[in-house]
Amino acid sequence: MARQTIVRRSGIWEPAVTATAETKQILAVQAGWRVVHASFRHDTAAAATTDSTAELGDGDDTDGYIAAADLELRTAGTYSNGAGAYLATAGGKLYSVADTLDIKYTVPTAAGAVRPKIHWTVGLVQEWPH
């Protein structure tokens, strides 16, 4: 059996405006690749009076990798690991067609003055060439 190498991709995300929900494409995934890991490291928490969340998913499932990380309850340096359906049961998701990974930011009640900041990391394995 051939050895497969996990490729790590990461970046920093914060909402453009704290009071406006958004979905931001963070990574293009080519056909033939499997996402096997996803996590957030919370660098800056949202203001304490907010109720904002961030999810990590794709075009099929907005929280397929990370479901509703509560942004005001997380202190700097804490992590949200992949608890979405793709990683919970299936060992990741193999993409048969290209897609993007997206962070969905939701502000259901009041927005605070502090923009949350997240360092995201994703692990991928190429299963077959495209």
CATH number at residue 121: 2.60.120
3-state secondary structure of 87: helix
- Residue 25 and residue 56: Cα distance in Å, rounded? 10
The answer for residues whose C-beta is within 8 angstroms of residue 17's C-beta and 6 or more apart is none
Tell me whether residue 59 is in a domain.
Answer: yes
pLDDT mean over 61-89: 87
Tell me whether residue 41 is in a domain.
Answer: yes
Would you state the pLDDT for residue 115?
85
Would you state the pLDDT for residue 130?
58
pLDDT mean over 16-32: 93
Tell me whether residue 2 is in a domain.
Answer: no
pLDDT tens per residue across span 95-117: 999 999 999 999 877 667 788 89
Judge whether residue 38 has pLDDT over 70: yes
| Domain, as residue range, for 101 | 7-126
3-state secondary structure of 99: strand
- Structural domain count, the chain: 1
Tell me whether residue 34 is in a domain.
Answer: yes
Tell me whether residue 1 is in a domain.
Answer: no
Band the pLDDT of 30: cuts 50, 70, 90.
very high
Question: Both tokens of residue 24?
Answer: 């931001």
Tell me whether residue 20 is in a domain.
Answer: yes
Q: Of the candidates 69, 57, 71, which has an alpha carbon nearest to the alpha carbon of residue 29?
A: 57
